[in-house]
Structures are given as structure tokens and as C-alpha cells.
Chain A
Amino acid sequence: MGSFGELTPPVLQVSQLNRLLRELIENEQLLQDIWIGGEISNFTRATSGHIYFTLKDHSASLKCAIWKGNALRLRMNLRDGMSVEAHGAVSIYEARGECQLIVDALRLAGEGALFQEFLRRKALLESEGLFDLSRKRPLPPAPARVGVVTSSSGAALQDILNTLERRYPLVEVILSPTSVQGEKAPQEIIAALRRLTQRNSPEVIILARGGGSLEDLWAFNDEGVVRAVSDSPVPIVTGVGHETDFTLCDFAADLRAPTPTAAAELVSPDIAELRIQLANQAESLSLVMDALLERQEDSLSSLFSFLVRESPRVRIENDARRLDELSGRGQIAFRYLEVLQEARFSNLIGRMAALDPARVLQRGYAVIRAEDGSSIRSTRQVAKGQQLEIEVTDGTFGAQVNATAVNH
């Protein structure tokens, strides 16, 4: 018997087999990155946070688990009966020898095909240049009118209105309601956009919808809608779905916001900032005006001091002072003063003689007066045709101006 020992096939313990199976499966790349389609049943969420369910089709079932970390990241509420596509890695639960799928991502059945279609359309529209960055227009910094295209009953609209009310209540919102989901949504969205830009065109448009599955957001991947966004004469900001959702409209829009609230924030300045800006401008206005008036005052006062410096009074005073100085300089100055006074005296006599009007008239000069008796000294005081009175040494006679000429 003992010699048989070497020939007997080795006996594996159950746990050894299960480990072997697990290792075989986990080394098979094809099974470690796989999508499995089926319907959810036996859905349970354990207190640990892990999720367990069974995926089944018409003839077979497969145990599935979603570990806590991935479970928290799920964007949809799973329930029994849901048709889904689960992505993950196939493994063996060694304790029971059961095959199981460790799920790391889930989508509704059909989303895979939709996603392929999404990629196809994206490539097409991209090749036409609809998503070019050069087409993106800047948003007005403080628009007076904002258009909103969304469902009038959706949470997205409330989020947008609340955000605008809080940040920028100056704005007038023009809501162009439309359905945002379902078969007729694309044509309604296109019509809603057209209504906005045709009638009372706003300065910027928010195109928004709350979160949902790829299928829910499908209208925003519609080719006609994307083209309408791209062709819009008014800049468009999209806020469709959640942070992680991208639609083709997002690529065609002038700006993509992760949520409707974020879209409202992007089109609106914060009123607190506006107050600060306004206060700054008001301050600049006063400062500039103050500086201007100060400059005017400065030039006025320098002009005035120039006038004072150049006035004859100052010159006369200066002359007098110089005279005083001269007079205080002994002999030479005294003689100079004598000469000066003599000269002044004879000059004074001459001037007094000259000032006697009778003597002046005797020498053939005449006094000319206007009708009001004022004497005429300048051509500027007379006009052609004016009556004048001429006084000569023995009487007066009238005269009329017939021409004037100015000496240069």
C-alpha cells in the first residue's frame, strides 16, 4: 500500500480549491474588467455600508457586491427589478465557493449604447468646429436681462432664481419655459431659445436642467439642440445635471457650469462686489474733482501773485526805495539828488504849462467831446456817423465822424 503513495493524486482541501479558483479567475484579465447586464434582485444595503444584490437574466443569476467606497459614489438609487449594466471584477467568495462580481460602476441598461452614440455625435460636431474655443464669447459682466431656458416646474429654475435674487437682484429674468426631458424636449428647447433671442433678447442665456441619468439628459445631446446653442446670437451658459455630467450642449455653449446654481453665479456679479466697485468710483470722482479744484486754486493764486509782483505800485515803491538808498550815499548821492530834483522841477514846470488847457488850445489843439460831454481820446470811442462837439480856443462847433483810422 505504501508504495501506492506516490501515485495517488493529491487531495485538495475545499479551502485550497476555492483559493485556487479565486486565483485563476483573478488572473484572467478578461474577467477583471467586464460589463455584465442583468436585472437587480435581493438588493440589500448592509450596516457596514456595503451593498449586496443579485444580478439575473431569464435563466441565470450572479451574486454582486459594491464595497462601501464605491457605494457612496453611486449616483442612482438602486432597487429590485432595475435593469442595469454593472462593471467590475469577477471573483470567488472562498467561504462559500460562490462566484461573485465586485462592482465598481453601474449604469442603467442601454446607457452603454447611448454613450457610444454620444461619442459618435461629439466627434461629428467637433469636426464641424462647433466646439472650437475661438467660438466662445465673453459673458457680459453685469447683464440687465438674463434669459433662462429650463422647465418652469424644475428645481433647476428655483436654484437659478434663488441665486440671482441673492447675488444680483438688479437683473430681469426672462424665462422661456420648455420641457427638458422626453421625446419632444429637443424641439421645445430649440423653440424656447428662438423665442428668447427673437423677441426681447437678453444679454446672456442660461440653459439648465437638474441632475439625471444619461438618458434623462439626452435632449441636451440632440444634434438640433446643440446646433441651436452653437448658433445662438446671445452667449449661452449651460448648467445641466451635476458636476460629473457632460452633455454636447456643454461643449457648444460659450461657458459650461457644473450645475444650474453655478450657471446663475457665472452670469451674475455679486451685489456686494458691485457696492464696493461703486464706492471706489464715487471716491475717485471726489478725489479727482478735489485735485482739480486745488490745481485751479493754485494757478489762480500764482496768477495773483504774478499780478502783485508786476503791478506799478510795486515798481513805484521800488523806485522810491532806490531813491532813498541813493540819498543815503553821501556826497555823490547828494549831488545826484540835487541834479535830479532840478530836473524834476523844470520838468514839472513844463508839464504844468502843458496841462493848462487854454494854452494848449491857443497852440491850435482842440478838445473833442461826445454828446454826453466825455472827452474823446481814442478812435475806439467813436463810431461812424456820431455827432461830436469840438472846442477850440474861442468857442465850439459841431462835427460828424465819417471815418476812423487807427495809428500803429
Chain B
Amino acid sequence: MTKKETVQIESLTYEQAFAELEKVVSALEDGQASLDESVELFQRGQALTKHCADLLEQARLKVTVLEQEPQTNGEKGE
């Protein structure tokens, strides 16, 4: 279970991870969860925080270039 969640967290984008972190915090603030659930939420929150921090730390701008379609009118030959 924990392992599966870790894998999931690692595949989250920063925005997704941060949004979930906010949800975890407000769920904990709600106080509706049992102690066990709260501890689980807390651990999930910690993992999300770490993931976000890692993403910020390791971030390097990635640029992908889409290829332009060849001109259909053939004016732009090689």
C-alpha cells in the first residue's frame, strides 16, 4: 500500500502534488478522520511535501519542439 502510494506520488506533477497536499492538510484540520486515518494522511502529506520540495530543487526547464508539418503547397522545399 505504502509502496504503491510512493510510486503514485512520484508520478505527480508539482501542481497535482501541491493540490493534494492542501487537501490532506484541510482533511486533517477537519478532524473527521480516525487516528489511524489521520496518521496515514500525515504520512501522505509528508511524502507529498518531500516530492514537491524535490521537484523544486531538481527542476530544469525542459523544452520539446514539435516538428512543423511539411508545407502542403510544396513551396518550402529542402
Contact = CB atoms under 8 A, between A and B. Distances in A.
Interface of A: 140-144, 152, 161, 164-165, 168-178, 184, 188, 191-192, 195-196, 199-200, 271, 274-275, 277-278, 281-282, 284-285, 288-289, 292, 296
17 contacts: A140-B15, A142-B18, A144-B13, A165-B61, A170-B13, A170-B59, A171-B61, A172-B64, A173-B63, A174-B65, A184-B75, A274-B14, A278-B21, A281-B25, A285-B46, A289-B38, A292-B38
B22 A281 contact: yes
A288 B66 CA distance: 46
A178 B68 CA distance: 7
Nearest to A177: B68
A277 B48 CA distance: 13
Contact of A174 (B18, B29, B64, B69): B64
A171 B61 CA distance: 6
Given A271-B59, A284-B25, 10 more contacts: A171-B61, A173-B61, A173-B63, A174-B63, A175-B64, A192-B68, A278-B21, A281-B18, A288-B28, A292-B31
Contact of B66 (A172, A176, A277): A176
B5 to A, nearest CB: 16
A166 B63 CA distance: 14
B49 A277 contact: no
Contacts of B64: 172-175, 200
Nearest to A175: B65
A325 to B, nearest CB: 44
Contacts of A174: 63-66
Most buried by B among A161, A176, A196, A296: A176
B60 A285 contact: no
B62 interface: yes
Contacts of B9: none
B35 interface: yes
A182 to B, nearest CB: 11
B49 A278 contact: yes
Contacts of A170: 13-14, 55-56, 59
Contact of B45 (A152, A191, A285): A285
Contacts of B46: 285
Contacts of A192: 66, 68
Given A285-B45, A288-B28, A144 B18 contact: no
